[in-house]
């Protein structure tokens, strides 16, 4: 009974956190697409100001993706979810996607972050669009609220994909192994 209450509490906390942190949960499909596109532009603007060389990297890539993610870590488990958009630079198309993640490891806290993936070749972009699964480890610390605080983000290059993480807000300390799945959002495409 106690585990069921804890699980229900986690689900409620995650839902509330995700809906309030991303600002993309409500409205019709047109409004949600517009919110995701605005989020993408805001994230790219921030990334370019922090790391100016990414502008050329993204424009010369086969494509890129920008996701917003709310993540909850509670002792031995980690859960997260978000939305985003993949841009195919070769044909100019956008594909709206969802993401979900689950992990195990030590951690505590709630974190709202943005992820940018740069696909350096067509094969990497196609693989992401077709398979949409990533497994990896993560160790980070974040203590940030708005413009206050600090966040340790990352840059990783694996299999012709560069990933950047920008922490928006939250308080989290974690060391986890996560599996993340990305899939096409049938309501927005």
Residue 171 belongs to a domain: yes
| Beta-bridge partner residues of 60 | none
Q: If residue 123 lies in a helix (H) or strand (E), which one and from where to where? A: helix 122-130
Largest CA distance in the chain: 54
d(CA 4, CA 95): 37
Given this model, what pLDDT does residue 76 score? 75
Q: Is 150 within 8 Å of 144 (Cβ atoms)? A: yes
Residue 148 belongs to a domain: yes
Residue 109 belongs to a domain: yes
Residue 45 belongs to a domain: yes
Residue 37 belongs to a domain: yes
Residue-number span of the structural domain to which 52 is assigned: 2-184
Number of domains comprising the chain: 1
> What's the 3-state SS for 28-46?
CHHHHHHHHHHHHHHHHHH
Residue 189 belongs to a domain: no
Residue 176 belongs to a domain: yes
15-65 pLDDT, tens digit per residue, is 444 443 445 656 899 999 999 999 999 999 999 999 999 999 999 999 999
Phi/psi at 4 (5° precision): -65, -40
DSSP letter for 6, please: H
Q: Is 119 within 8 Å of 131 (Cβ atoms)? A: no
Q: Beta-strand (E) ranges in 89-125?
A: 93-119
Q: What angle do CA 89, 65, 25 make, to 5 degrees?
A: 130
Q: Is 71 within 8 Å of 101 (Cβ atoms)? A: yes
100-157 pLDDT, tens digit per residue, is 988 876 666 666 788 899 999 999 999 999 988 665 544 444 444 444 433 435 566 6
- pTM comes to 0.75
């Amino acid at each position: 009974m106690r585990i069921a209450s804890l699980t229900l509490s986690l689900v409620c906390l995650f839902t509330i956190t995700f809906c309030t942190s991303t600002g993309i949960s409500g409205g019709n499909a047109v409004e949600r697409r517009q919110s995701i596109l605005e989020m993408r532009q805001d994230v790219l603007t921030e990334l370019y100001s922090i790391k100016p060389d990414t502008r050329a990297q993204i424009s010369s890539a086969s494509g890129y993706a920008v996701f917003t993610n709310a993540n909850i870590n509670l002792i031995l488990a980690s859960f997260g979810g978000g939305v985003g958009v993949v841009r195919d630079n070769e044909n100019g198309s956008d594909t709206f996607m969802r993401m979900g993640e689950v992990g195990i490891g030590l951690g505590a806290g709630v974190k709202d972050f943005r992820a940018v993936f740069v696909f350096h070749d067509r094969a990497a972009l196609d693989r992401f669009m077709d398979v949409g699964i990533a497994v990896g480890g993560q160790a980070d610390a974040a203590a940030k609220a708005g413009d206050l605080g600090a966040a340790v983000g990352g840059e990783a290059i694996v299999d012709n994909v560069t990933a950047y993480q920008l922490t928006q807000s939250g308080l989290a300390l974690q060391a986890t192994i996560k599996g993340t799945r990305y899939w096409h959002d049938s309501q927005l495409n």
